[in-house]
Amino acid sequence: MKKVLIALFFFIALQISVCAKELKFIQFSDTHLSSEGKDYRGRKVGAAAEYLREAVKQINKRNDIDFVVFTGDNIDTANRTDLKLFLQLVNKLNKPYYVVIGNHEVFRHQHFGKKEFMRTVWFYHPPMLFKGPSYVFKANKDIVFIVVDGANEMMPSPSGHFKKETLDWLDKKLEKYKNKKVIIAQHFPLIPPTKKYSHDTVDVDKYFTVLNGHDNVIAIISGHFHTDKFIYKKGIYHLSAPAFVSPPHEYKIITVTYEPKYLFAKPSEFEIKQELVPMGQANEEDSFVIEQTGN
């Protein structure tokens, strides 16, 4: 009887230890960094490097962030010089980071396509040594991130296009990680946060057909529209991010909390929350002004 009680005690202790878990990461989108570009349509591309440098310093003061994801248009035009500058800045992060390709930063006719982009990222950030622009990384033992590339390197366009081979690859990865929960990171949202038809994703129904064949995707994070939006539809959170290049230069802190239904069960009952952190605004002379925010 005593042994049974002891075993029961340890079982209860284990159950209590399996309390709500938390994953917290940061999303940047549409940084549009440029070393020579001029500001346009409210985009402070000339000051983007300084804002990013200060944001990195701010993030490094936090000890509750697991990693950072940059969801595309990290640079304003397709060239190695600006991507190198971007990577040198974000390499100062004391946390892991991952990069998604946007429509602004690859163009094969300018001799800077996806292969050149990824090779540059690999060179300056070896942990990003993945086979291609679509890849997988594990956030923790419960949650997997799948980065899905939808950029057109042959003819850069504001419309996202997920090729058949990309969707076939995604389908296989979702099946492979069917016992995990999945968050997808991409530049182009599947549900537009605002009406801007030139930016809509092509053949989006084909993408949803893949998603409908699985039940492990809990969220899709994206940028592109330069608009913050939080949509929950058919069991999936769709989170669109504002453009970091434009005032008030915001990045997003995303918190995922969850707990198993019972001991040894796969994760369930997820909740996702977001917080926008503004860095400040440039004044009329375009000098750099930072508004202090809490850590």
Q: Is residue 99 within 8 Å of residue 74, measured between CB atoms?
A: yes
Write down the H helix ranges in the chain.
2-17, 48-60, 80-90, 114-124, 164-176, 204-212
User: pTM of the predicted model, to two decimals?
Assistant: 0.86
pLDDT at position 239: 97
Number of residues in the chain: 295
Q: Is residue 60 within 8 Å of residue 295, measured between CB atoms?
A: no
Per-residue b or e along 199-219, where b marks 16 or more CB atoms closer than 10 Å to that residue's CB: bbbeebeebeebbeeeebbbb
pLDDT at position 38: 78
Low-confidence ranges of the chain (pLDDT < 50): 5, 8-17, 281-295
pLDDT at position 202: 84
Write down the H helix ranges in 32-163.
48-60, 80-90, 114-124
pLDDT at position 7: 53
Q: Is residue 148 within 8 Å of residue 101, measured between CB atoms?
A: no
pLDDT at position 40: 78
